[in-house]
Structure 1
Amino acid sequence: MTATPSTTIASSLRDEWLALACAGLFGVVYWTFWVDPAILDPTNVDWLLDNTDRGVNYLGWALFRDTPWAWPLGLNPRYGLELSSSIVYSDSIPLLALPFKALGGVLPRPFQYLGLWTLVCAVLQGVFGYLLARRLGAGTEAALVASAFCVAAPVLVARSSHLALTAHWTLLAAFYLYFGRATRLLPWIVLLAVVAAIHPYLFIMVLAVFCADLLKRHRLEVTGIPRLLGNGIVAVAISAAIMWSIGMFVGASPEADGFGYFKHDLLGLVDAGRFSRLFVDIPNGAGAYEGYGFLGTGIILLALATLPAMGQLKRISVSEIWPLALVVIVMFVFSLSNAIDIAGTTVLTLPLPDALARLAGILRSSGRFVWPAVYLATIFVVLAMTWRYRRYGTAIAAACLALQVFDMAPGIAATRERATMIAAAPQPISPLWAELAQHYQRVRAIPVQHPGLSWHYASRVAARYGMATDSVYLARVPPLAEAQQRAEEALSTGAFDPGAVYILDDAARTAAAAQARPGDLMTVIDGRHIFAREGCVSLPDLCEGSPVLTLDNMGGATAPHRL
Structure 2
Amino acid sequence: MQTIAGFFKKYRWPLTGALLGALVFVALYGIRVLNPANVDWILNNASPDPSQHYLGWEFFRRSTVRLPYLGANYSAIYPYRTSILFTDSIPLLALLCKLVSPLLPAQFQYFGLWGLFCYALQGGLAQAILARLGGVRHGQRAACWASVLGAGLLVFFPALTIRMFAHTALAANWLVLLAFWLWLRGDALLPTTKRACLAWGGMGLLCAGIHLYYLPMVGLVLVGFAVRRALQKRGIAAVLLPVAVFCGAALAELVVLGAFASNFAGYSNGYLSGADLVNLVVPDLNASWEQDVYMGLGGVLALVLAAVGLLVACLRGRTARMVAFARRHRTWLVAGAVVLVLDAVVAMGNTITLGGKTLATVPIPQMLMDVWAMFSSCARLAWLAGLVLILVAAGSVLRLWGGRVAVGLLAVCMALQMFGLREELTKRYTTYHDAVTYADQTILTDPGWETLAESGQFAHMAFASFDFEHDEFWDLAAFAANHGWTSNSFYMGHMDGNLAAVTLAGEMNSLSPDTLYVFLEEDELARDSFALHYYRLNGILVGNVEPLDLPEDPVPAQDAMAMDLLYADVVNGSLTAAGVELGSGGQMMTPEWMLFPGTYQVTLTGSGFDHSYIYARHGLINQETYKLDIQFTVIDPETMTFTFTTGTPLYYWRTAVHTLDDTPITVQSVTVEKTA
TM-score normalised by length of structure 1: 0.85
Q: 2:442 aligns with which of 424, 427, 430?
A: 427
Moved more, 503-512 or 152-161: 503-512
Are 2:172 and 1:167 equivalent residues in the alignment? yes
Q: State the Cα deviation string for residues 15-73 of structure 1 (Å, max 9, x = none).
A: 44221221111101111233232100111111111231111110001111111222311
Query: Is 1:369 aligned with 2:363?
Result: no
Counterpart of 2:236 in structure 1 is: 225
- Report what 1:275 is aligned to: none
- Of residues 346, 349, 355, the one that matches 2:358 is 346
Q: How far, CA to CA, are the matches of 1:131 and 1:27 in structure 2?
A: 13
2:474 to 456, 463, 473: 456
Residue 308 of structure 1 and its aligned partner are, at CA, apart by: 4.4
Residues 67, 11 of structure 1: CA spacing in aligned structure 2 closer, same or farther, 3 A cutoff? closer
Aligned residue number for residue 99 of structure 1: 96
* Residue of structure 2 in register with 1:359 after alignment: 371
Aligned to 1:498: 513
Asked if 1:333 corresponds to 2:345, the answer is: yes
Alignment of 1:271-310 (within 5 A): 271-272=282-283, 282-286=284-288, 289-310=289-310
Report whether the alignment pairs 1:244 with 2:244.
Answer: no
Cα distance in 2 between the residues matched to 1:36 and 1:258: 40
8 Å contact 2:268–2:374 — kept in the other structure? Answer: yes
Mapped contact 1:448–1:480 kept (Cα < 8 A): no
**Could you tell me how far apart the structure 2 residues matched to 1:382 and 1:533 are?**
66
Task: Render the CA deviation track for 1:275-326: whole Å, top value 9, x for unaligned.
Answer: xxxxxxx35313xx22322222222122223214447573861212322331
Conserved? CA contact 1:265–1:284, under 8 Å: yes
- The answer on 1:487 being equivalent to 2:484 is no
- Looking at structure 2, the residues matched to 334 and 421 of structure 1 have their Cα atoms a distance apart, in angstroms, of 41
From 30, 37, 42, the equivalent of 1:43 is 37
- For the aligned residue pairs, the C-alpha RMSD in angstroms reads 3.0
How far the C-alpha of 1:372 sits from its partner, in A, is: 0.9
Are 2:286 and 2:293, in contact at CA under 8 Å, matched by a contact in 1?
no
Question: Per the alignment, in what secondary structure is the counterpart of residue 522 of structure 1?
Answer: strand
Please state whether the residue corresponding to 2:511 is helix, strand or coil: coil
Q: How many angstroms does 1:122 deviate by?
A: 0.5
Q: Deviations over 1:227-276 (max 9, x none)?
A: 53334323322222222222222224453337333x3223312344xxxx
Q: Which moved more, 1:200-209 or 1:342-351?
A: 342-351
Greater CA drift, 476-485 or 318-327 = 476-485
Q: CA deviation at 1:87?
A: 0.6
Moved more, 415-424 or 33-42: 415-424
Q: What corresponds to 1:144 in structure 2?
A: 148
Partner of 2:330: 318
The answer to whether the 8 Å contact 1:82/1:483 transfers is no
Contact 1:201 1:363 in 2 (8 A): yes
Any unmatched runs of 5+ in structure 2?
Answer: 137-143, 311-318, 562-676
For 1:44 and 1:476, locate their aligned partners in 2 and report how far apart those are by CA, in whole Å: 29
Contact 1:297-1:407 within 8 A present in 2 as well: yes
Corresponding position: 1:130 with 2:89: no
The alpha-carbon deviation at position 530 of structure 1 amounts to 1.2
The answer to whether the 8 A contact 1:298-1:400 is kept is: yes
Which residue pairs with 1:3 in the alignment? none
Q: In structure 2, how many angstroms separate the alpha carbons of the residues matched to 1:412 and 1:369?
A: 23
After the TM superposition, which of the residue ranges 317-326 and 118-127 deviates more from structure 2?
317-326
Kept in 1, the 8 Å contact 2:20–2:123? The answer is yes
Q: CA deviation at 1:485?
A: 5.0
Question: 1:478 deviation in Å?
Answer: 3.6
Larger radius of gyration: 2
Percentage of matched positions with identical amino acids: 26
Of 456-465 and 137-146, deviating more is: 137-146
Alpha-carbon deviation of 1:340? 3.1
What CA distance in whole angstroms lies between the structure 2 residues aligned with 1:486 and 1:210? 43
CA distance in 1 between counterparts of 2:10 and 2:539 reads 60
Structure-1 residue corresponding to 2:58: 62
User: How many Å apart are 1:445 and its aligned residue?
Assistant: 1.1
Cα pair 1:135 1:176 within 8 Å, conserved? no
Query: Structure 1 pair 14/388, CA: closer, same or farther in 2 (3 Å)?
Result: same
Counterparts of 1:266 and 1:351 in 2: how far apart (Å)?
20
Greater Cα shift, 339-348 or 366-375: 339-348
Deviations 1:366-416 (CA, angstroms, capped at 9, x unpaired): 010011111111111111112112252333222322333244333311133
Q: Is the 8 A contact 1:83 1:479 kept in 2?
A: no
Does 2:415 correspond to 1:402?
yes
Aligned to 2:651: none
In structure 1, what residue type is equivalent to 2:286? N
SS in 2 for 1:432: helix
TM-fit CA distance, 1:501: 1.3
Contact 1:75–1:87 (Cα < 8 Å) also in 2: yes
Greater helix share, structure number: 1
Q: Is the 8 A contact 1:142 1:383 kept in 2?
A: no
How far apart are residue 524 of structure 1 and its match? 2.1
- Match among 19, 24, 29 for residue 30 of structure 1: 24
Over 3 Å counting, the alpha-carbon distance change for 1:215 and 1:556 in structure 2 is: closer
Measured in 2, the distance between the counterparts of 1:453 and 1:499 equals: 25
CA spacing shift, 1:37–1:304, aligned 2, 3 Å: same
3-state secondary structure, aligned to 1:158? helix
Q: Is residue 76 of structure 1 aligned with residue 78 of structure 2?
A: no
8 Å Cα contact 2:326-2:333 kept in structure 1: no
| CA 57–434 in structure 1, closer or farther in 2 if over 3 Å, else same | same
What amino acid maps onto 1:462 in structure 2? A
How far off its partner does 1:475 sit?
0.8
User: What is the aligned partner in structure 1 of residue 215 from structure 2?
Assistant: 203
Aligned to 1:561: none
In the alignment, residue 300 of structure 2 is paired with which amino acid?
I
Task: Give how far 1:110 is off.
Answer: 1.0
- How far does the alpha carbon of each residue in 1:79-135 deviate from its partner, in whole angstroms, 9 at most, with x for none? 111454111100000111111111111111211000000000100111111121233
- How many corresponding residue pairs? 523
Structure 1 pair 214–461 and aligned structure 2 pair: CA distance change class (3 A): same
Rounded to whole Å, the distance in 1 between the matches of 2:245 and 2:485 is 41
Deviates more, 1:193-202 or 1:345-354: 345-354
Per the alignment, in what secondary structure is the counterpart of residue 82 of structure 2? coil
Secondary structure of 1:208 counterpart: helix
Please list every run of 5 or more consecutive structure 1 residues that lacks an aligned counterpart in the other structure. 1-6, 273-281, 558-563
Q: 2: distance between equivalents of 1:258 and 1:297?
A: 34
Distance in 1, Cα, partners of 2:180 & 2:433:
29
Measure, in 1, the Cα distance between the counterparts of 2:257 and 2:344: 29
